[in-house]
């Protein structure tokens, strides 16, 4: 089965290293690890096509801004004739501690505007998602999500992106259930740190 791996974020250099762009950063790392270049402009996104562990993947970074991500994702599913069960959405999650991963085979948007846009555009909540925790350990809202990540949070960013890329590889090769058994459990067994 081929996959559309779509990372959510906002285009433009001012948003590059913000918590809201963890989806972009994660799919960049996944593509890099698998020799895929995300350079083709298609369906209002930057797209790369290749293989990960022998599985065909289309990697995308919608350039519509977060709140309209669904327009691009829907168009890409149509262009590549992929069913909804081939979609993996990768994005930030303010309700999880920074760097913790949570994989779900389906579910609501839980207040995430990018995910709401995708659900509205595809007409269903029945697609896989990989959420990357970005909670700063204190109350953080829109201003926090759209501001550059602070140094104390980014010191572990490289290893977080590597683990996230591995999780994407596991989902696309073996399915969400197997990936959940590895990465959701790992997240819960790690001690939380206050910082």
Question: pLDDT over 70 for what percent of the chain?
Answer: 93
CA distance 174 to 189: 22
Q: Rounded CA gap, 19 and 140, in Å?
A: 11
Residue among 158, 182, 187, 162 at smallest CA distance from 170: 182
- How far, in Å, CA of 36 to CA of 53, rounded? 12
> Mind listing the pLDDT tens digit for each residue in 5-57?
999 999 999 999 998 999 999 999 999 999 999 999 999 999 999 999 999 99
* Per-position DSSP letters for the chain, written without gaps between them: --EEEEE----SGGGTTSGGGHHHHHHHHHHHHTT----EEETTEEEEEEEETTEEEEEEEE-S-GGGHHHHHHHHHHHTT--GGGEEEEEEEEEEETT-EEEESS---TT-HHHHHHHHHHT-S-SEEEEEEEE-SS---HHHHTSPPPHHHHTTHHHHHHHHHHHHHHHHHH-HHHHHHHHHHHHHHSPP---
pLDDT tens, residue by residue, 65-82: 999 999 999 999 999 999
174 band by pLDDT with thresholds 50, 70 and 90: very high
Q: Is 129 in contact with 107 (CB distance < 8 Å)?
A: yes
Taking alpha carbons only, the member of 46, 45, 26, 49 closest to residue 36 is 49
Q: May I ask the CATH class of domain 3-189? A: alpha beta
Residue-averaged pLDDT of the chain: 91
Q: What is the pLDDT of residues 80-118, one digit of tens each?
A: 999 999 999 999 999 898 899 999 999 999 889 999 999
Six token digits for residue 73: 């994702």
Q: How far apart are the first and last CA of the chain?
A: 41
Active site residues: 20
């Amino acid at each position: 089965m081929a996959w559309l791996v779509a990372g959510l974020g906002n285009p433009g250099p001012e948003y590059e290293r913000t918590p809201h762009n963890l989806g972009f950063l994660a799919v960049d790392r996944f593509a890099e690890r698998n020799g895929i270049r995300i350079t083709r402009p298609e369906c209002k996104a930057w797209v790369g096509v290749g293989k990960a562990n022998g599985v065909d993947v289309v990697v995308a970074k919608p350039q519509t801004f977060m709140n309209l991500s669904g327009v691009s994702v829907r168009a890409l599913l149509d262009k590549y004739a992929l069913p909804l069960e081939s979609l993996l959405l990768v994005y930030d999650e303010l309700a999880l501690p920074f760097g913790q991963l949570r994989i779900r085979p389906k579910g609501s948007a839980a207040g995430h505007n990018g995910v709401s846009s995708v659900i509205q555009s595809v007409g269903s909540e029945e697609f896989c998602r990989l959420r990357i925790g970005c909670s700063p350990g204190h109350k953080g809202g829109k201003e926090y999500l759209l501001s550059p990540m602070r140094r104390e949070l980014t010191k572990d960013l490289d290893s977080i992106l590597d683990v996230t890329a591995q999780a994407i590889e596991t989902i696309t090769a073996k399915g969400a259930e197997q990936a959940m058994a590895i990465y959701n459990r790992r997240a819960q067994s790690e001690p939380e740190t206050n910082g």
